[in-house]
Structure 1
Amino acid sequence: MSTLAQAETKTRKKQGASGNGGGGGSSAAGGGGGENFQPAPLAEEARRRYLNYALSVITSRALPDVRDGLKPVQRRVLYGMYHDHRLTQDAKYQKSAKVVGTIMGQYHPHGDASIYDALVRLAQDFSLRYPLVDGHGNFGSLDGDAAAAMRYTECRLAGISGEMLTELGKKTVGFRPNYDGTLSEPIVIPSRLPQLLMNGTTGIAVGMATNIPPHHLGELCDALAALIENGNLAVKDLMKFVKGPDFPTGGQILNSKAELREIYETGQGSVRIRGEYALEDVKKGGQQIIITSIPYTVNKSTLVSKIGDLVRERKLPLLLDVRDESTKEVRIVLEFKRDASPELVMAYLYKHTPLQTNFGVNLTCLVPTDNPEVGAPKRLDLKSILQYFLDFRFEVVTKRFQHELGELQKRVHILEGFEKVYDALDEMIRIIRASEGKQDAAKKLMARFKLDEVQVDAILEMKLYKLARLEILVIQEELKQKRLEVKRIEGILKDKRKLWGTVKDELAEIKATYNDKRRTRIGGAGSEEVEFSEDAFIVDEDAHVVLTRDGWIKRVREVKDPSTTRLREGDAVMTVLAGSLKSNLVLFSNFGAAYVTRFNDVPASTGYGDPVQKLFKFDDGERIVGALSLDSRLPRPQKLVAVTKDGLGLRFPLEGHVEVSTRSGRRYAKTGEGDEIIGVQPVGEKDLLAVLTERTYATVCRAAEVNELAGPGKGVLVIKVEPGDRVMEFLAVAPGQKDASITFETQKGRKLTLSPAKYEVTGRGGKGHEMSRKDTVKEVQRSVTFLQLPEKKD
């Protein structure tokens, strides 16, 4: 025990002994802990409390119950609307704020926002396949518009919700106290609908999540009926009825039957879904594409905006315009060039927009346990979910018949009392008139006619007109019918086959009442579908990419003079690359990574451009030190040479860096700690390599002496760099090329030139010669690399 805890315990003991401690050991209720107080380790207490929180989130908020398919807040919304407000399908609409207030005050004390959000979702026909709430007012839209405030909207239960709630008053499900113990609420709702799969749900708990897609109600009813007939059916057999998810927004599921079967067998997987389109003739000639459905959960306005960005940025030149003409039905109009293929346009949109997405399936829900009030989270397959629902329906139907039988027996008992006294009406009246009160009359009637209290009470409360001859015949006929009904129900309760037959008949009624046409088409792309090809959407025209010293990049149509291009203050052009939009370019970084992209993928701009880090995944401090156009009309070197600031050099082939790379690039060199590459240049086998350090040390050697590496490496020593010195510049030139040199200015104001053609050629690895004694390089004059493209050949 800690010193602080010991002192606190001693203080409590003294207070208890002196009578001022509030009851000694009983003070634990007040937070003191009493004499038996023991401090708990923080880690253990945090673990215990976090597990309690996690259990609460899993069982009381985020996951639905496998039986009624509802989360607690959804269940409370439906129950409150039905039980407290009687907002059935034929009732008048009521303000949503009034409903939310009731739910929050009596059942769900977690804030009005969560309750109203749940109510809104239950009313959205684009969120639920079969909405359970009939909303009046603005309840949001496919464009992502939020619902109006609860004080403006009105609601009532949808007709299909009656199938979930009408059996509540027949003792079919258990109830538990609400959060403050003043009322009771159902543990589950006796739903006649397979709500969990019918409407699906999504939720994130602690350490687990659920994401169940909606399905077609008619298919589910058929599968349930088949499972009643044959309990040995496997998932593959049930999928003859349940074809796959049926999303409220329609679309087309691309998964094969084998992929869908694996999802339903394992309870998890990914459903690929895309929007559908049709071609429509235009009055002026030609056609336009009409997108008629979009994937589930996709924001329509965001989708239209992204398609518009493709048009504006000319990334899809075949597409001319996009318009959203949707009303209640989705209608997105795409105008495209007359000579363009609509299949190519849609292939690009499926690849680069949310018009095709993945829906991650996770069939996790709460299943019944020994404790009727607490469910256990479990990931289920299709058959298990259907079987849990059937078992639940069997239990509900059994309890419903038992309740109905009990009510019938009560009524029969009362009618039998009426039957006894109707044979002696005059004597019954005489006994009542001679009695001193109701209690006295009851005793005399019970003794004379051998009745019990229930029967006598009903007789004494009977209205006088019931004594008429015709009324006696009505009671006798009712008794006869009630006895027949009791016999029928008793026969059903004794025979499981009849109970299962009732469950099956009710499912058939549900299907007949609410069956509709499937909205989502099942089936992958056909063999005739156009495959996506990046090059098919790129215009074959020339462009230039400008890369600056500070790492800004942009694509422009034409560059005549690099010095006139728009730059940020203090920045300068490092290189200008020319090539076709379909050609690739490669950028080399100081950390030994090569990034290859298309000219077309560099953002076009008339301004400063974009940071090059926006296109690739750079590490801290990484920057571009070399670049090369891979256009087929330009000379392509076979080998490249790189030099580091510590004087190491390496040669490597270009061949491995011509195809488009990922955002992380490909490694061409490894740099030591504190070292980095200062540049990458093309090099030939007979070229000379000139290297200049900051302290004006220079060396010229043959490039062939620098080892060629098959994979990324650190290289070999080209020039020995003293501590505090570093390589400033290098140059690879062919022998006899007199116009190639490194020009620089020193701190002493001297302007010097390192010309490999005039400089002494030595072996690599030496210290080099000092060009300006006890001087350092102030600035190196660098020219902009700019290769013009030759004219295209016909």
Structure 2
Amino acid sequence: MAKRTPRNDDPTLPGPDAGGATSRVPLHEAASVRYLNYALSVITSRALPDVRDGLKPVQRRILYAMWTEGPRPDQKPRKCATVCGSVMGKYHPHGDSAIYDALVRMAQPWVMRLPLVEGHGNFGSMDGDPPAAYRYTECRLDPAAAGLLEDLSSRTVAYRPNYDGSKEEPVVLPARLPALLINGSQGIAVGMATSIPPHNPAEVGKALLKLLKNPEATVAQLTGPGGILAPDFPTGGTLVTPQAEIKEIYKNGGGSLKLRGSVHHRYAATGGRGEKVLTIHEVPYGVNKSTLVEQIAEIVLNRKMALLADVRDLSTEEVRVDLVMKKDADEAKVLAYLHKNTSLEVNVQVNLTCLVPTENPEVAAPLPRADLKTILWHFLHFRHRVVTRRLQNELEKLLGRLHILDGFALIFDALDEILRIIRASDGKADAAEKIQRRFDGLDAEQTDAILELKLYRLARLEIHLVEEERGEKRARADEVEALLADDDGDTGSGRWGIVRNEIEEILDTYGKKHPRGPRRTKLGDVGEEAGYSEEDFIVAEDCHIVVTADGWIKRQKEVKDPSTTRLREGDRVLAAVAGSTRATLGLFSSAGTCYTVRMIDVPASTGHGEPIQKLFKLRDGERIVAAVSFDPRLLPAESLEGADGAEPAFTGFAATDDGHALRFGLSAFAEVSTRSGRRYARPAKGAAVVAFGVVDREVQALLAVSRRCRAKVVKPAKVPFLSGPGKGNMLLKLVDDALLGVKLSRGDRDLLTYETSRGATDTVSTVKYEATETGGRGVEVKKNGTIVRIVPEPVEAPPSW
């Protein structure tokens, strides 16, 4: 059986040597080369836009296919399925969904500042509704797309073969519009990404003229009044980023902008009485309107903000979301709360990464975080090259036509002789040979044109028209030659003058009189937000929180008997606590981390509840061991703080399974934490917290029990109080053993119940042994067997006020 040769199609990798043997390639080298090829392909051929036409390859191919095959702006719309099929079959060999998604995006006016495709049918909505299938929708090029494509006929850009070599496609479109800045772009490549916001067309044109007039202009001079003020989003809104920061973003090529939806105040008469209403009429760019309405509705339903009574989405083609407030509501505080807790205010990331041309016009290279001037500079020089190639192409056609007209002029005085020669000839080739022998100045091309000349062109009037055309063509050829011969030292004349005139046409076309011309995004000052406390917006109500051993949590109005609450099979109630909806809840975990949340933010449920992982970022294997309500009625604030450095009246106690224990202050954990929580202890590697409790003056003793039936009773004061998270001191010295739990005793005879390896259940009293110092091996509570687990005590019903 012949040995199978491994396949190696990559020319960059070693392959069979001259003798036919296959060379071995280390896996890391092969993976490196192949991944590099993949990364470069994604960067240059999929994800990043070109600085010259502002398009990604799929967008460029869609527009080119629609320009060459229809439908153009002046043609009847055509099915999107036809367009997608043509693009996929001839230029873009990828999935039809990717092509249709790109086409739809170019037709959505809330995405593109100047849509390049005119869509007919359902093309989605700002609510995130998907477009109809491409067999139902129609499209054609928008007139704005003509500014990207109309110079194609002059062969002003380089072409390359399509994916199968059957056709050609342009490397880049000869864009007259700086579409990269006008429409922006979003893309994620390998190791880099781009996020360019849309801009106002007229402002971009003014900045280009500024740079054309003064090539040494700085980014600061190109921005501000008379240039680019700031991004201009198609959905409007208000930018509250200071102008100085915006200039820095344009200078550095990246940063973050703060964008808010636009809101106005009004009073509405409803049901015979007036309502105080805030109306959102513009949402931030990229925000799903229905998601924003859901966020606000959740706030209303969960009564997180008492000043807000209702939300109504009354949008049609125009955005209108009414927020009904209470009569005594402060509008500034309501807006401040919504800006912080909903998508009414978002951060827009700016990353001016794009592809720029190299010495080879068919190859573009990524330029991470280009500044604004660099982008404008590349576009101006691209337009200069396009104008140059357009003039060269025009001159070539002019000279070719003049060559033919010169031939006509040579024989106009001998037309009768020409006719006799033709009539006496034995065909076209014989006539051409005889005419060239008779008229020495004629070449084959001119002679062929003479023979193809229609008879009516021999009329006296037509001869004058030919002479007139010859003069016009000569004058234009001289003009073009002068433009091409100009070294363009003066940016106000020559080919640069043509570039300037074309930019001025953009200003005239997309000025204030154009429907898409006026600036939509207002510029505001972030100012000072209205002062408020989130607790002020929460309706103060008593509630109960149930936490289970398997990590589920829920909020209920009241829990009379925790043993009857609804749980998942095999789960049990770990804790049931009471508190106000304005109070906070501390969840202490086995990893020594406390996660604090407002009780109002715990999901309300009459079922199993929600996993705690939805609220916080728990580590693998981490579990909640205790829950504490920080309601002031249970833990007064003054009892959590020690006076003059003294220990507070209430302290937290924690013990780990390696026998260590510590006490700590609780005040720092009463404040709402991040999803990652705050440390209260630092167990040793491999250890975990197995016991937690709140120690007050009523706690008289701590009873610790280990797996090997060792026990120790200590006074709480003997456990060290730490000012920060730590490992603690040795509570019970363990040898091939593990601490199972600690009982906090508040009475004379508190019992700790445990289960042995022999299946028996027994108890140990907290007063059976004398309290000793921490450390040491303790006393033996049972001669035979080991303790399997501490039996959980029944959870008492939380108090109801």
What's the TM-score bracket when you normalise by the shorter of the two chains?
Answer: 0.7 to 0.9
The residue matched to 1:669 in structure 2 has which SS?
coil
Please list the CA deviations of residues 409-436 of structure 1 after superposition, one character each: whole Å capped at 9, or x if unmatched.
Answer: 2333333333333334334334433444
Answer yes or no: is the 8 Å Cα contact 1:681–1:732 preserved in 2: no
The residue matched to 1:678 in structure 2 has which SS?
strand
**How far off its partner does 1:725 sit?**
6.4
| In 2: Cα distance, 1:633 partner to 1:300 partner | 41
Check if 1:417 corresponds to 2:407: yes
Check if 1:375 corresponds to 2:364: yes
* Count of residue correspondences: 758
Answer yes or no: is the 8 Å Cα contact 2:304–2:539 preserved in 1: no
Q: Give unpaired runs (5+ residues) of structure 2.
A: 6-14, 512-516, 640-648
Check if 1:228 corresponds to 2:212: yes
| 1:174–1:611 CA distance, 2 compared to 1 (3 A) | closer
Check if 1:513 corresponds to 2:506: no
| 1:88–1:689 CA distance, 2 compared to 1 (3 A) | same
Check if 1:742 corresponds to 2:751: yes
Partner of 1:355: 344
Matched AA of 2:702: A
The residue matched to 2:269 in structure 1 has which SS?
coil
**How far off its partner does 1:679 sit?**
2.7
Q: TM-score, with normalisation over the residues of structure 2?
A: 0.87
Check if 1:494 corresponds to 2:485: yes
Matched AA of 2:547: L
Answer yes or no: is the 8 Å Cα contact 1:685–1:703 preserved in 2: no
Please list the CA deviations of residues 77-121 of structure 1 after superposition, one character each: whole Å capped at 9, or x if unmatched.
Answer: 1112112x1422111122222222222222222233322222222
| 1:506–1:766 CA distance, 2 compared to 1 (3 A) | closer
| 1:473–1:207 CA distance, 2 compared to 1 (3 A) | same
**How far off its partner does 1:387 sit?**
0.7
The residue matched to 1:64 in structure 2 has which SS?
coil
Q: TM-score, with normalisation over the residues of structure 1?
A: 0.88
**How far off its partner does 1:230 sit?**
0.6
**How far off its partner does 1:494 sit?**
2.9
Paired residue for 2:680, among 668, 689, 703? 668
Partner of 1:782: 793
Partner of 2:473: 482
The residue matched to 1:512 in structure 2 has which SS?
helix
* 1:140-539 to 2 correspondences below 5 Å: 140-240=124-224, 241-284=227-270, 285-379=274-368, 380-449=370-439, 450-495=441-486, 496=488, 497-515=493-511, 516-527=517-528, 529-531=529-531, 533-539=533-539
Identical-pair percentage: 51
Please list the CA deviations of residues 292-343 of structure 1 after superposition, one character each: whole Å capped at 9, or x if unmatched.
Answer: 1222222222222333233333333333333322222222222232322333
| 1:588–1:77 CA distance, 2 compared to 1 (3 A) | closer
Answer yes or no: is the 8 Å Cα contact 1:252–1:276 preserved in 2: yes
| In 2: Cα distance, 1:508 partner to 1:750 partner | 92
Could you tell which deviates more after superposition, 238-247 or 650-659?
650-659
The residue matched to 1:553 in structure 2 has which SS?
strand
The residue matched to 2:153 in structure 1 has which SS?
helix
Partner of 2:11: none
**How far off its partner does 1:439 sit?**
3.2
| In 1: Cα distance, 2:523 partner to 2:458 partner | 67
Partner of 1:623: 623
Partner of 1:136: 120
The residue matched to 2:163 in structure 1 has which SS?
coil
| In 1: Cα distance, 2:30 partner to 2:733 partner | 62
Matched AA of 2:120: H
Matched AA of 1:471: E
Partner of 2:8: none
Check if 1:56 corresponds to 2:56: no
Could you tell which deviates more after superposition, 427-436 or 598-607?
427-436
**How far off its partner does 1:45 sit?**
2.8
Partner of 1:69: 54
| 1:770–1:118 CA distance, 2 compared to 1 (3 A) | closer
| 1:683–1:123 CA distance, 2 compared to 1 (3 A) | closer
Paired residue for 2:73, among 79, 83, 89? 89
Please list the CA deviations of residues 550-607 of structure 1 after superposition, one character each: whole Å capped at 9, or x if unmatched.
Answer: 4433223334554554445565544433332222232322332222222222222233
| In 1: Cα distance, 2:755 partner to 2:183 partner | 76
Partner of 1:715: 728
**How far off its partner does 1:752 sit?**
5.4
| 1:730–1:35 CA distance, 2 compared to 1 (3 A) | same
Matched AA of 2:460: R
**How far off its partner does 1:749 sit?**
7.3
Partner of 2:653: 641
The residue matched to 1:145 in structure 2 has which SS?
coil
The residue matched to 1:625 in structure 2 has which SS?
strand
Partner of 1:585: 585
**How far off its partner does 1:390 sit?**
0.6
| In 1: Cα distance, 2:700 partner to 2:564 partner | 33
| 1:660–1:498 CA distance, 2 compared to 1 (3 A) | same
Paired residue for 1:754, among 765, 768, 787? 765
Partner of 1:20: none
Could you tell which deviates more after superposition, 362-371 or 450-459?
450-459
| 1:541–1:744 CA distance, 2 compared to 1 (3 A) | same
| In 1: Cα distance, 2:731 partner to 2:379 partner | 77
| 1:779–1:453 CA distance, 2 compared to 1 (3 A) | closer
Please list the CA deviations of residues 106-139 of structure 1 after superposition, one character each: whole Å capped at 9, or x if unmatched.
Answer: 2222233322222222222222211111222222
Answer yes or no: is the 8 Å Cα contact 1:686–1:704 preserved in 2: no
**How far off its partner does 1:34 sit?**
6.0
| In 1: Cα distance, 2:392 partner to 2:792 partner | 98
| In 1: Cα distance, 2:711 partner to 2:16 partner | 81
Q: Give unpaired runs (5+ residues) of structure 1.
A: 10-30
Matched AA of 1:49: R
Partner of 1:677: 689
The residue matched to 1:662 in structure 2 has which SS?
coil
| 1:73–1:781 CA distance, 2 compared to 1 (3 A) | closer
| In 2: Cα distance, 1:729 partner to 1:108 partner | 68
**How far off its partner does 1:237 sit?**
0.9
| In 2: Cα distance, 1:589 partner to 1:46 partner | 42
**How far off its partner does 1:531 sit?**
4.9
Answer yes or no: is the 8 Å Cα contact 1:691–1:719 preserved in 2: no
| In 2: Cα distance, 1:259 partner to 1:78 partner | 36
| 1:115–1:573 CA distance, 2 compared to 1 (3 A) | closer
RMSD, matched Cα: 3.0
Answer yes or no: is the 8 Å Cα contact 1:201–1:210 preserved in 2: yes
Could you tell which deviates more after superposition, 131-140 or 684-693?
684-693
Matched AA of 1:218: A
Please list the CA deviations of residues 430-487 of structure 1 after superposition, one character each: whole Å capped at 9, or x if unmatched.
Answer: 4433444433433443344433333333332222222323223322332332232223
| In 2: Cα distance, 1:420 partner to 1:132 partner | 50
* 1:699-714 to 2 correspondences below 5 Å: 699-714=712-727
Answer yes or no: is the 8 Å Cα contact 2:436–2:443 preserved in 1: yes
Answer yes or no: is the 8 Å Cα contact 1:731–1:742 preserved in 2: no
**How far off its partner does 1:174 sit?**
1.7
Partner of 1:12: none
| 1:549–1:502 CA distance, 2 compared to 1 (3 A) | closer
Matched AA of 2:595: Y
| 1:437–1:620 CA distance, 2 compared to 1 (3 A) | closer
Paired residue for 1:653, among 659, 665, 676? 665
Could you tell which deviates more after superposition, 674-683 or 31-40?
31-40
Matched AA of 2:751: I
Answer yes or no: is the 8 Å Cα contact 1:638–1:655 preserved in 2: no
| In 2: Cα distance, 1:161 partner to 1:33 partner | 52
Answer yes or no: is the 8 Å Cα contact 1:647–1:727 preserved in 2: no
| In 1: Cα distance, 2:423 partner to 2:201 partner | 63
| In 1: Cα distance, 2:352 partner to 2:699 partner | 65
Matched AA of 1:106: K
